[in-house]
């Protein structure tokens, strides 16, 4: 999914043939919802910024857009929150000095299907997704890239360990 303004000139061909579909930002785009639902119904995946676009400053937005909540509630599709840190510096890279970009995936989140969710329900789900993304960004800021990796590995090891006193075959 990409903003409709990007579908101009040679990029239109690239996006269209690359599986990207347009969304009219700032408007209630029902065509986007129909397209997204059909992709999800076929078992496909969609990449969507719950803030409505990527951040040029590297800061997470204060409020999510309700569209991601609507899709989650109307389809029951799991949402995987993702934090992308460092991408705001890509436009400003100097010759042969490429910024480090860290991508962290959270645990999938799923909600029960609601046939006609209210705007408040949609917003509540979108806010919950944004909260999970913000927590990942905070972890990256606080512990750094390697510190987060270390903590995730430790948590996974702890989950695989048998409980105290359990028989191991």
pLDDT tens, residue by residue, 8-25: 888 888 888 888 888 887
Token pair of 145 as six digits: 């890239």
pLDDT of residue 27: 75
Query: How far is the first Cα of the chain from the last one, in angstroms, to the nearest whole number?
Result: 48
Average pLDDT along the chain, 169 residues, taken 10 residues at a time: 84 85 81 91 89 68 88 95 80 71 90 95 96 90 80 83 61
Q: What is the rounded distance in angstroms from the CA atom of residue 42 to the CA atom of residue 116?
A: 21
| Number of residues written out for the chain | 169
Side-chain-side CA neighbours of 80 within 13 Å: the count stands at: 9
Q: What is the rounded distance in angstroms from the CA atom of residue 31 to the CA atom of residue 117?
A: 18
Token pair of 168 as six digits: 């191991």
pLDDT of residue 85: 83
pLDDT of residue 76: 95
């Amino acid at each position: 999914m990409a903003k409709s303004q990007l579908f101009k000139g040679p990029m239109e061909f690239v996006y269209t043939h690359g599986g990207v579909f347009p969304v009219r930002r700032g408007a209630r785009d029902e065509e986007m919802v129909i397209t997204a639902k059909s992709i999800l119904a076929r078992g496909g995946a969609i990449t969507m910024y719950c803030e409505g676009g990527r951040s040029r400053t590297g800061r997470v937005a204060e409020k999510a857009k309700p569209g991601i909540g609507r899709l989650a509630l109307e389809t029951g599709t799991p949402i995987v929150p993702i934090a992308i840190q460092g991408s705001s510096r890509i436009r400003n890279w100097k010759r042969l000095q490429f910024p480090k970009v860290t991508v962290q995936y959270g645990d999938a989140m799923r909600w029960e299907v609601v046939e006609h969710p209210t705007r408040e329900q949609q917003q509540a789900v979108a806010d919950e997704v944004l909260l999970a993304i913000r927590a990942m960004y905070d972890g990256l800021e606080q512990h750094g890239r390697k510190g987060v990796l270390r903590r995730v590995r430790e948590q996974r090891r702890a989950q695989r360990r048998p409980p105290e006193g359990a028989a191991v075959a």
